[in-house]
Amino acid sequence: MTELILIRHGETDWNRELRFQGQVDVPLNATGHEQARRLAERLGAERLAVDHLVCSDLIRTRQTAQPVLNTLLPALNLDDVVDASLREQSFGLVDGMRVDDIKLQHAGAWENWLRFDADGGMPGGETTRQFHTRVMDAVRRLAQQYAGKTLMVVTHGGVLDMVWRTAQGVGLHGPRQSDIPNAGFNRVRLNGDTIELLHWADVRHLADLPPQPVYDQKKLLVESAAE
């Protein structure tokens, strides 16, 4: 068995603006840095035993991972733990765009997106099925590589959604159903092809910070139906 501690990166300005960040390299904002600091402080206070850490190669995950490395694994160099397979889903043509702008400039693509079909995606981007395959291949590879150990993975909201869906046996079709807060604490156990959720969306260390921006896919569906 392998335990994975899964962390979504801290907040960025584009999170606050509800942009499709995708694979655009956006840094943390001041709140995101504070979230990362508090996460590291909490994990250090709890003396969490972590054998290794990996993170996406995008800067928002690297900046989130650095305080954790400094606290839990100071001998590790951040440049040696990045893994591009842990990147967020590519949204192709609309990477970096706000929802309202996508509706205006790419109305057809937006309507297709709202179907949340497993084999659908934004033009030039990954389909959900392609993304899921990439993510789960990476997760299972890491679980085998660090079998019997505890590995921390600092990554993106979409990546965590793919893990949650797989663990819960929820299909790839339909809007996101799980809470995935920035810098939240999530823990899963992998045993072969089985994924068990141990903790999910724990944000006790962020309790007095401003409310987080939420990209609510179910809400988008309701709003679209009302238009």
Contact present, 166 and 138 (Cβ < 8 Å)? no
Label residue 185 exposed, middle or buried (CB < 10 Å: 0-12, 13-18, 19+).
Answer: buried
3 in a labelled binding site: no
186 in a labelled binding site: no
60 in a labelled binding site: yes
**What one-character DSSP code corresponds to residue 29?**
-
106 in a labelled binding site: no
CB atoms within 10 A of CB 138: 21
Distance from C-alpha of 37 to C-alpha of 67, rounded to nearest angstrom: 6
* Nearest C-alpha neighbor of 159 from the set 38, 60, 33: 60
119 in a labelled binding site: no
Catalytic site residues? 9, 88
Distance from C-alpha of 107 to C-alpha of 113, rounded to nearest angstrom: 10
Annotated binding site for substrate: 8-15, 60
Annotated binding site: 8-15, 60
